[in-house]
Amino acid sequence: MSDVHTTVDAKGLSCPMPIVKTAQAVKTVPAGELIEVLATDPGSVKDFAAWTRSTGNAIVEQSEDDGVYRFLIKRS
């Protein structure tokens, strides 16, 4: 597993900010690199699944720890 290129800390932000901040970050990340997203919005689970499906980016890891959702996304 290669290193995380960029981390998006969206903890405490409500919908749609985790996705908006990630979509912004994606613009600055080269293809194939990894973006780590941390969010506390419970809606982010379904939102990131839908957003990656629609944009072609891929969730390669996903976990939840004490209310913090972590997504590792590979930039398409």
List active site positions. Answer: 15
Q: DSSP for 54-74? A: HHS-EEEEEEEETTEEEEEEE
Of 2 and 54, which has the nearer Cβ to another protein? 54
Binding to another protein in span 14-43, by CB under 8 A? 14-17, 19-20, 22-24
Structure tokens at 41: 């919005």
Rounded to a whole number of angstroms, the minimum distance from the CB of residue 20 to another protein is 5
Which of 56, 65, 66, 67 touches another protein by CB under 8 A? 56
Identify whether the C-beta of residue 71 lies closer than 8 Å to the C-beta of residue 62.
yes
